[in-house]
């Protein structure tokens, strides 16, 4: 199990309500960056926004010798998940969250 990892989203463009930070990078560019960071052995990726193709993910892991510490299933970013994903009182929202996971 890797001891240190980085969330690949933070290696690309991020934004808040005030500003956008950094330039957009492909998932491959982010994996290359992770492979070059001293002391970092793995990456955490965000599904479905960064990665939704397991074959591509496995190729990048192998190509850059980067482990996978976690898959962050994002059931919070969409407005429909504002009041919860898996805990939403709305059945259709819960079902969509389950589909993501």
Q: What's the structural domain count of the chain?
A: 1
Q: Which residue has the tokens 């980067």?
A: 66
> What's this model's pTM, rounded to 2 decimal places?
0.78
Q: Which residue has the tokens 């892991």?
A: 61
Find the domain containing 25 and state its range.
5-75
Classify residue 87: in a domain, yes or no: no
Please list, in sequence order, all residues whose beta carbon lies within 8 angstroms of the beta carbon of residue 1, skipping any fewer than 6 positions away.
69
* DSSP state letter for 75: -
Q: Residue 99 has what pLDDT? A: 87
Classify residue 89: in a domain, yes or no: no
Q: Please determine, for residue 2, whether its predicted confidence score (pLDDT) is greater than 70.
A: no
Q: Residue 65 has what pLDDT? A: 97
pLDDT tens for residues 16-43? 778 888 899 999 999 999 999 999 999 9
Please list, in sequence order, all residues whose beta carbon lies within 8 angstroms of the beta carbon of residue 57, skipping any fewer than 6 positions away.
27, 45, 51, 68
pLDDT tens for residues 49-63? 888 899 999 999 999
Classify residue 18: in a domain, yes or no: yes
Classify residue 92: in a domain, yes or no: no
Classify residue 42: in a domain, yes or no: yes
Average pLDDT, the chain: 90
């Amino acid at each position: 199990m890797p001891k240190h990892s980085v969330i690949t989203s933070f290696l690309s463009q991020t934004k808040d309500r005030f500003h956008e930070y950094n330039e957009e990078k492909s998932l491959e560019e982010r994996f290359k960056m992770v492979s070059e960071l001293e002391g970092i052995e793995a990456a955490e990726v965000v599904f479905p926004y960064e990665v939704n193709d397991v074959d591509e993910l496995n190729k990048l892991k192998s190509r850059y010798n980067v482990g996978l510490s976690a898959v962050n299933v994002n059931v919070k970013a969409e407005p429909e998940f504002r009041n919860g994903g898996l805990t939403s009182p709305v059945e259709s929202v819960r079902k969509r969250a389950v589909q993501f996971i």
